[in-house]
Amino acid sequence: MKKVTLLNLKGEKVNDINLNEEIFGITPNDKVLYDAIILTRASLRQGTHKTKNRSEVSGGGRKPWRQKGTGRARQGSIRSVQWVGGGNYGTPVPRDYSKKQNRKERRLAIKSALSHKAAENAIVAVEDIKLATPKTKDFVEILKSLNIENKKVLLVVKELDENLILASRNLANIVLITTNEINVLDIVATDVLVATKDALTEIEEVLR
């Protein structure tokens, strides 16, 4: 059975926690994990890019010169794609980039990502994270005590604390989420997953 050491905010061992093998000890399905990452990244795209084609550009209603006899190439509009100020051809239009993945696959993807983290010994469990002040330097001291100050950290808590939000938001290497926001992209994009004891319990209850 996989175990993780439970630490206090000073980095001292308090106890050992047994991790659920069905969540943190499965053989990762990398194909499903890859699909989930692509889905998550695609969902971040707004898809609002737009340029005007020749029917949407203002002007150009009159034929610039007669069809024959001028010695110049025939033109029907000064808003054709070859003209400066003309419309664009084959350029982006608004679209929906979202993809679909069924619920079982999404759950399997999260389990696979967590299992990778567990196999890499990249899961840190802490009793609880409560800050008396919203000072970033106090939060940095906690990271130093846990020996993760130079790593990209995904911090998972059961409930957000205002002091914790304010203290961590200026740190580029910290991603702070609650258990119901946990996702594949954040797990694989960070070096270490730090979770409170209550957060780990809730993750296991949800994914069991």
Q: CA angle 95-99-104, nearest 5°?
A: 165
Contact 192, 154 (CB under 8 A): yes
**Element (DSSP H or E) covering residue 207:** helix 197-207
With a pLDDT cut of 70, the percent of the chain lying above it is 100
Q: Using one digit for the tens of pLDDT, what is the confidence trace for 6-22? A: 999 988 898 999 999 99
3-class DSSP state of 33: helix
Q: E strands within 86-208?
A: 123-126, 153-157, 174-178, 192-196
Hey, is 178 helix, strand or coil? Answer: strand
**pLDDT tens string for the chain (208 positions)?**
688 999 999 888 989 999 999 999 999 999 999 999 999 999 999 999 999 999 899 988 899 999 999 999 999 999 999 999 999 999 899 999 999 999 999 999 999 999 999 999 999 999 988 898 999 999 999 999 999 989 999 999 999 989 999 999 999 999 999 999 999 999 999 999 999 999 999 999 998 8
- State the amino acid at position 69 in one-letter form: G
| Residues 147, 2: Cα–Cα separation, whole Å | 21
In the chain, the domains with their CATH numbers are 3-45+98-207 (3.40.1370.10), 47-96 (no CATH)
Are 166 and 134 within 8 A, CB to CB? yes
Query: Per the structure block, which two tokens stand in for 135?
Result: 């000072």
Tokens of 173: 């290497």
